[in-house]
Amino acid sequence: MVTKKVLVTGGAGFIGGNFVQYMVKKFPHYEIYNLDLLTYAGELFKHKNIEEYSNYHFIKLDIADREKVMKYFESEKFDFVVHFAAESHVDRSITDPEVFVRTNVMGTQVLLDAAKEHSVSKFLHVSTDEVYGELDFNPNTFFTEDTPLQPNSPYSASKAASDLLVRSYHETFGLPVNITRCSNNYGPYHFPEKLIPLTISRVLNDQKVPVYGDGKNIRDWLHVLDHCSAIDLVLHEGSNGEVYNIGGHNEKTNLEVVKTIINTLGKSEDLIEFVTDRLGHDKRYAIDPSKLERLGWKPKYNFDTGIKQTIEWYVQNKDWWQTILSGESKEN
């Protein structure tokens, strides 16, 4: 089998971490390198089960540190780069936009320069449907790869900027790239400030669950393992320069998601607490993934099955999220 060296940035986070696990196990002949700075949402406990795998490697590194990144690329000679590393929480971007620009824009440029200089065979940039802005509540409207970028938060604006940088390095320098834009992910190891894990942890602790506004904002939910299989396909089969949307065909209002979790855990909906809406809160996201489906991908999880498995995972892994909530999980 042909050996590839694959750099996964942000591999200590939620989606990147699941992708590292997926790749290490599916491609034992690939060398998988997990690059992460281990900021607040990154932790290595999730990788305890693969630390002894000979094809798994970790390096703590800031993607915006040009000198160190260049040296790392020079020493390792990567074939593929799968770029997850990003600040990703919308509320935090409203409070402190600058760190999002540094990591998501400047960090991406550093990686692109390194990939170009060292002739990487494929640079896959993992983005988000939030770069498209928002949709109305018409169930027949969807984001496609041709939807204009109209980001509405500092987070999504920083991701849109990085998307355009990636595109430009393909158009100007011929760097082989793909961009993927996914809908909201859920599943194991999701950092507990996000809607689904936050709700699960609060319901298990009989605490109030905050819901923005009237809870009618709609998101399309994608199981993280379906996302991993989609990225795998694009990495190996995607046409250079192309964008691929990854959606789960699971549109739910935020209130529906919260009620599903509460009811599954047998608790009272009195735990729901409506709070002041988020600034610039997009109404609806929904993805048309038909381009990717033509490449051969389909999601394996529907929301009903996936959310039950996710809830059960959090019930069985309380130590993981309780340690994070207590602030004891950092491995620096």
Please state whether beta strands 56-60 and 184-186 pair in parallel, antiparallel, or not at all (unpaired): unpaired
Residue 289 resides in a domain: yes
Residue 226 pLDDT class (50, 70, 90 cuts)? very high
User: Is residue 225 scored above 80 in pLDDT?
Assistant: yes
Q: Which helix (H) or strand (E) holds 31?
A: strand 31-36
Task: Say which residue, 87 or 318, is predicted with more confidence.
Answer: 318
User: Is residue 194 scored above 90 in pLDDT?
Assistant: no
The answer to whether residue 232 is catalytic is: no
Task: Say which residue, 181 or 326, is predicted with more confidence.
Answer: 181
Residue 88 pLDDT class (50, 70, 90 cuts)? low
Could you say which DSSP state residue 101 is in? I
Using CA atoms of 155, 156, 158, 163 in order, give the dihedral in degrees to the nearest 10.
150
Residue-level pLDDT at 235? 98
Residue-level pLDDT at 199? 96
The pLDDT tens digits for 170-190 are 999 999 999 999 999 999 999
The pLDDT tens digits for 256-281 are 999 999 999 999 999 999 999 888 78
**Which of 44-48, 68-72, 91-95, 136-140 shows the lowest per-residue confidence on average (mean pLDDT)?**
91-95
Q: Which helix (H) or strand (E) holds 26?
A: helix 14-26
Question: In the numeric block, which tokens belong to residue 272?
Answer: 């729901």
Task: Say which residue, 223 or 153, is predicted with more confidence.
Answer: 223
Measured between alpha carbons, how far is 105 from 139 in angstroms, rounded to an integer? 33
User: Is residue 332 scored above 80 in pLDDT?
Assistant: no
- Domain span including residue 89: 5-191+222-247+283-301
The pLDDT tens digits for 102-149 are 999 999 999 999 999 999 999 999 999 999 999 999 999 999 999 999
Residue 79 resides in a domain: yes
Measured between alpha carbons, how far is 133 from 94 in angstroms, rounded to an integer? 16
CB 9 within 8 A of CB 32: no
For range 308-312, the mean pLDDT: 97
The answer to whether residue 130 is catalytic is: yes
* Candidates 87, 129, 134, 232; catalytic one: 129
User: Is residue 312 scored above 90 in pLDDT?
Assistant: yes
Residue 113 resides in a domain: yes
Residue 208 resides in a domain: no
* Candidates 155, 169, 189, 285; catalytic one: 155
User: Is residue 240 scored above 90 in pLDDT?
Assistant: yes
User: Is residue 63 scored above 80 in pLDDT?
Assistant: yes
- What's the total number of domains in the chain? 1
* Candidates 130, 163, 226, 251; catalytic one: 130
**Which of 195-199, 205-209, 210-214, 319-323 shows the lowest per-residue confidence on average (mean pLDDT)?**
319-323
Output the domain CATH number for residue 135.
3.40.50.720
For the chain, percent of residues with pLDDT exceeding 90 = 83
Residue 185 resides in a domain: yes
CB 159 within 8 A of CB 302: no
Residue 104 resides in a domain: yes
The answer to whether residue 155 is catalytic is: yes
User: Is residue 331 scored above 70 in pLDDT?
Assistant: no
CB 201 within 8 A of CB 321: yes
For range 150-160, the mean pLDDT: 94
Mean pLDDT, the chain, rounded, equals 93
Residue 48 resides in a domain: yes
Residue 200 resides in a domain: no
